[in-house]
Structures are given as structure tokens and as C-alpha cells.
Amino acid sequence: MFSVDFMINILGIISFLTIILLVITLFFKIEQMKTLQASFNKVKKQLDEMDEQAKLIMRTDLELNKTQEELDKKISGLYALQKLSRSIASTLEESQIFNMVDPARLAELGFEKACAFLWDDAQKRFLPQINIGFLAEEIEAIKNLVRAEKDKFLALIKSEKTFSSLSGLDPVLREKIKATGKVRAFVISPIMPKEGESGFLCVGTEDPDFFINEGDEELITILANQLGQTIENARLFEKTWRAQQDLEKKVEERTHELSRLLDEVKAISKRKTDFISSVSHELRTPLTSIKGYAAILLAEKLGKLPPEIRERLEKINRHSDELVHLVNDLLDIARIESGRMLMKKEPQELKELVATVEDLLGVQLKQKQIRFEADIPAEAQKILADRSQLERVFINLIGNACKFTPEKGRIGVAARKTDGSVQVDITDTGCGIPEEALGAIFEEFYRVDNAINQELKGTGLGLALVKHIVEAHGGKIWVKSSTGAGSTFSFTIPSG
Ligand code: ADP
């Protein structure tokens, strides 16, 4: 059998082994606990992170809601502002502009009260323009405040900035505005048209829940700018309208004056025509007698004439012819001017008419060995004219060309059909006409001061008569010439 010692030893060994086992088990348990603790920590960290994220999401959601609300407010504000701007811009009458600010639209912007003032430089004071929502005593108090603090309001306009009860404004003035207008919050913005005097717009609210922000200041700035722009347009329109009225008045006065002058000129011209006409008639009778007596004497019906008397009588006869010619031209001009001489417009053959005139002037042309060329194409052949009067036109123009063209020169007559009429150009290679004389050439009694005119006689009536005849046919006459370069007289006559 086992001894006690043996048993004790066995028990000791068993205990020792048990203790070792327990230690080993404990060690593993501790390790397990550590792993568990680590997992627990990880999970806790994740939970914390999730919690943070949830809080962030809630915060973001709140901010998003706020932004959305602000955005909604801004959109409805912009919508109201657009309507306000449109109705303001619909008038061009300065006195009507502020009446176009609709209180309902202004309320949509959050303000139930508004007033505006424009500076009057003549009176050196601000003049009230609108009152929306202020009681009579409130607006009176505001007017007094604006009067008392006019320098501060002028400085505010000069700064070109918008202020509100929130920011920027001198605290004393801010509190005064709040107190006088009985408003909790307000925005004040300058009105600055480019033309004329400026002013300001002040809007406010008593609403305790209304909190002004930068967006409100921006909207009121836009509204004040719109008012300034419309006032500027109205002033420009007024200015333009006045200028136009002035111009119309001036034009009317000038027209009146011109028609009075025209009547005067017509009366003078008639008096001149009547005078020439009666003087010419008076001259014609004695001239006819002079010519008659000279003819009787020259015919030697009263006895033979000594040569020196004959010579003088012939001179009297020649000069009387010239005078008769002059008197006839004057009478004709007077008759055409007064409308007493009517042109008998009949179909004529231009070529044949020119040939007749060439024949009539044949001697002069031959004497000076002048080459005469007529170029009248078939389509310019037929014209409508008073035969004898048109002959006078050609005789005068070709006669002048012959007179002012040196020997062996050239005279050309060319015709061409234009719109409803025939244009005739009479060209010569003569002395030409100085530029400064061209404007006066068709006036009665005008003659260029040159050597040929000093030598040869003339009345200065030929071209005036020609012009009257052409115009009495409904045509026009003009000249192109310069000294030494020949001349071209052109006129139009109705085609047949
Ligand atoms: P008159 O021939 O009797 O002087 P007109 O009225 O026919 O009067 O002409 C006015 C002036 O115009 C002439 O004196 C002359 O100086 C100028 N004139 C007219 N025709 C010509 C021409 N073909 N060439 C140069 N000068 C001309």
C-alpha cells in the first residue's frame, strides 16, 4: 500500500499540475479578454463615428432647409421686384414714376412702408415723392427729420451706397429713422439719375419676425436703381420732346416768315414786271414814230438827202431797231413772268427747226468761218414746243456761241432723248465764261466784263428770255463753262 508520504507527494504533484493548468487557462482567458476588449473598442469607435455622421447629416439638413428657405424668399423677392420694375418703367412722366410703386409688391419684398425724396436744387431741400404705409403723423415726422438732417441724407446719396438698420449707418440717424417711421427694420438706398437731381428711397417694416439680410439690401438697391434709371429716361424724354417742340415752333415761325417774304418778293416782282411792261409800251409808240419818220426821210419822199444826213438817218434807223428789239425782249419777259404769254406747244421736228436757225445765222457763221455740226438722232427728233419761241431760244444760244467764238471755231448742236423729254446741248469753242459769272448768267441785263462785250453791243436780256421760254415749256436750262475752254449750254424740252 501507498505510504502517506507518497500520497502527499502525489497530491502535491497534482496540485502543482492543477495550478499550472489554471495559470495556462488564465493566461489564455486574459488573451481572449484582450481580443474582446479590442473588438469592443473598435465597435465603440465605429458607433461614435456613426453618431458623428448622423449629427453632421442633421446639421447639413438643417442648413439645407435654411438655404432653401432663403432661396425661396429670394426668388419671390426677385419676382416681386421684376413686377415692380416693369410697372415703374411703363411711364415716361416723371411725376407718375413713384405712383407706379405698388404697395402689394413691396409687401412681397417684406416691407409694408416706403417713402422717397428727391433733392430740389432751386429750393435747396428734399421734396417728398411717395408715402406707402406711413401714418400722416409718421410721414410728417419723417419730413421733419429729412429737413433737419438734410446734410446727412445728402452725404448718404453721395456715398452711392445702400444702408440698412443692420449696418453701416450712423447709429444716431439709424435710431431716429426707426423712431420717426415706427419701423423695426429698414433699408435706405440712393436714387441717382444721370440727368438732374438725386434722392433716396427708404423702405421699412414693423414686423418683429422680419430679419434683414444682405439679400434684402440688394433687392432694394436694384429697386432704387430702377427708379433712378426711369427718372433719367423721363428727363431725357422731356428734354428731347421740348427740343422737338422748340424746333417745330421755330420751323413754323421760319415757314411763316419765308411765306411772308415770298409774298413780298412776288409783289415786288409783279410791280417790276408791271413797270417794265408799261415803260416798254410807252417806249414803243414814240419808237415806231421815230422809225416811221426815219424811213420816210430815207426813202427821200421829202426830197433828196445829202450823204452826211443819210448816214445819220441810217444810224437813227439802226439804233431804233436795236431799241425795238430790246423793248420787245423786255415785254416778252414781262409777259412770260406774269403768265400772260402762253406757249402753244405743238409737235415739231427738231432737225428741221435747227436747220432753219442755221440758215438764219448762216451769214454770221460764214463770216467767221465757223464749222456748224448738228447731231440729232431719230429718237430725239420729235418735240412739243411753241415753234417761234423755241426758234428764239436757238437763235439766242447759237447767236451767242457765234458771237463769243473766234474765227474757224466750231459750234455743235447735239440732242438725246431722256425721261419724257429731249436734252439739247449747244457747245462752242469760244472764250468761255469765268466760274464766278456762271451763277448770274441767266439774270436780266447781266453781261460778263470782257473784251468781246466791250466791243460788241448787247443787252444782257437774251439768256434771261431763253430761260423764261424754256421754263414756260416745263424744261430746265444750265451751263457748263470755264474761261478759255468753250461753253456748253444745255436745256430740256418735252418730247413729242
Ligand atoms: P448779251 O449776249 O446781249 O450780252 P445774253 O443774256 O445773251 O446777253 O448773255 C449774257 C452774257 O453771257 C453775255 O454778255 C456773255 O458775257 C455771256 N455769254 C453768253 N453766251 C456765251 C457763250 N456762248 N460764250 C461765252 N460767253 C457767253
- How confident is the model over 415-441, as pLDDT tens digits? 999 988 999 999 999 999 999 999 999
Share of the chain above pLDDT 70, in %: 100
For 254-266, the pLDDT digits (tens) are 999 999 999 999 8
Q: Is 468 in the pocket of ligand 1 (CB under 6 A)?
A: no
Mean pLDDT along residues 135-146: 95
pLDDT score for 283: 85
**pLDDT band (50, 70, 90) for residue 214:** confident
Going from the Cα of 331 to the center of ligand 1, the distance in angstroms, rounded, reads: 20
Would the pLDDT of 489 be above 70?
yes
Q: What length is written for the chain?
A: 496
Q: Percent of the chain beyond pLDDT 90? A: 70
pLDDT exceeds 60 at position 413: yes
pLDDT at residue 480 greater than cutoff 60: yes
Mean pLDDT of 149-162: 94
Q: How far apart are CA 78 and CA 84, in angstroms?
A: 10
The answer to whether the CB of 435 falls within 8 A of the CB of 482 is: yes
Could you tell me the CA-to-CA distances from 205 to 77, 84, 200, 214 in Å, in that order? Answer: 15, 18, 17, 16
193 neighbors 232 (Cβ within 8 angstroms): yes
Res 215: pLDDT? 85
Give the residue, 286 or 261, on which the prediction is more confident. 261
Residues 6 or more apart whose CB falls under 8 angstroms from that of 186 comprise 111, 164, 165, 177, 178, 202, 203, 204, 205, 212
pLDDT (mean) for 308-325: 89
Residue 73 CA to ligand 1 centre (angstroms): 91
Give residue 62's pLDDT.
Answer: 92
DSSP 247-266: HHHHHHHHHHHHHHHHHHHH
How far does residue 482's CA lie from ligand 1's centre (Å)?
Answer: 13
Position 1 scores a pLDDT of: 55
pLDDT at 270: 84
Locate 125 and state its grid cell: 431741400
Runs of H (alpha helix) within 90-149: 94-97, 103-108, 136-148
Alpha-carbon distance 397 to 391, whole Å? 10
Q: Is the pLDDT of residue 2 over 80?
A: no
- Residue 411 pairs in a beta bridge with 372, 428
Contact 486 CB / ligand 1 (< 6 Å): no
In short, whether 233's Cβ falls inside 6 Å of ligand 1 is no
Which of 326, 400, 453 has the most ligand 1 atoms within 8 A of CB, as the residue to mutate? Answer: 400
- Spatial strand order in the sheet of 125-132: 125-132, 113-120, 199-205, 185-191, 163-164
> What is the Cα–Cα distance from 251 to 292, expressed in whole angstroms?
59
In this prediction, residues 329-350 reach a mean pLDDT of 87
What residues contact 225, with CB distance under 8 A and at least 6 apart?
Answer: 192
CA distance 399 to 387: 17
- Taking residue 331's Cβ as centre, other Cβ atoms within 10 Å add up to 19
Ligand 1 center–CA 423 separation, angstroms: 21
Using alpha carbons, list the distances in angstroms from residue 429 to 100, 393, 415, 492.
Answer: 79, 19, 18, 22
Output the CA 493–ligand 1 centroid distance in Å.
Answer: 21
Say which residue, 213 or 28, is predicted with more confidence.
28
Ligand 1 pocket mutation, candidates 326, 429, 436, 463, criterion most atoms within 8 A of CB? 463
SS3 for 211? coil
- Does ligand 1 have an atom closer than 6 angstroms to the CB of 466? no
Predicted confidence band of residue 51 (pLDDT cuts 50, 70, 90): very high
Weakest-pLDDT range from 119-128, 157-166, 236-245, 281-290: 281-290
Q: How far does residue 460's CA lie from ligand 1's centre (Å)?
A: 7
C-alpha 236/C-alpha 196 separation (Å) is 10
Beta strands in 324-363 (DSSP E): 346-349
